[in-house]
Amino acid sequence: MTDARNDAAEKRSGRGGIIMLIIIAVVGAALFAVFYYGILHPPSKRASSGQAPDFTMTTYVSEPLPPDVLQPALNDLFGANYGRYCVDDVNQPRPKEYDRITIKLSELRGTPVVLNFWASWCTTCKDEQPLLESAWRRYQGKVMFLGLSHLDQDKNARAWLQCYNVTYPNALDKGGKVYNAYHVQGVPETFFVDANGNISDYFVGAIPTAATLDQYIQKMLNAGNAKE
């Protein structure tokens, strides 16, 4: 009887050893695959200088969302105290000149561009957005501002644009193609493209003050002028 119990225990031990070896082999293969992939695909460096990657964007519609869609979206994005962030009249239409138009970066050559990556789900974007809109209104005619939303739902992005009454062109970055081309590593990030189409600088995270944004814009303007 004892021998039978010992044989059964040895069989269970043997099966357990085999299973453990299989697990170790699978984990080892997975680690090797990750290591090998890392060698072939090293982390990409953010586009920080040289010619800015070209792209085409199709802007959001300017028509306000209907109230029964807008209010729940604002509550989801900002909570019940959304009035702390939003303009008084969130139902006003945005400029129709940027309604469902196609913009290609390279066709803006000769005009400096502030390119901002954002998302309606981005917490730190909330304080940055008014700074961008205010700067756009100050520099309009001298500098173009472009916004690209990342991994966003249409209604949420449009509610965001209505909330802040954003009047410069914005669009969804479909499939994150532009995000990947610039090797953005999170939102918000802002790139400053001079009049010659070169990246003069970039800012990671939410731009903290209007003065900081002005410094980057002035640097971009000076970079473009120096190469003319």
pLDDT tens digit string along 8-54?
A: 555 555 666 566 656 565 445 443 333 333 333 344 689 999 999 99
pLDDT surpasses 60 at 202: yes
Confidence at residue 94, expressed as pLDDT on a 0 to 100 scale = 85
Same domain, 152 and 98: yes
**Is 84 found in the same domain as 30?**
no
37 and 112 in a single domain? The answer is no
Does 152 reside within a domain?
yes
Do 27 and 64 reside in the same domain of the chain? no
**pLDDT recorded at residue 25:** 56
* Residue 27 lies in domain: 1-42
Task: Write the CB contacts of 208 (distance below 8 Å, at least 6 apart in sequence).
Answer: none
Region 201-224: what's the mean pLDDT? 96
Query: For the whole model, what pTM was predicted?
Result: 0.80
Helix/strand/coil (H/E/C) assignment for every residue in 28-63: HHHHHHHHHHHHHCCCCCCCCCCECCCCEEEECCCC
pLDDT level of residue 81 (50, 70, 90 thresholds):
confident
On whether residue 88 sits in a domain, the answer given is yes
**pLDDT, mean of residues 187-215:** 98
Q: Is there a domain that residue 76 lies in? A: yes
Check whether 68 has a pLDDT greater than 60.
Answer: yes
Q: Is 49 inside a domain boundary? A: no
pLDDT (tens digit, 9 = 90+) per residue, 136-165? Answer: 999 999 999 999 999 999 999 999 999 999
Scanning 79-209, the segments in alpha helix (DSSP H) are 125-139, 154-163, 177-181
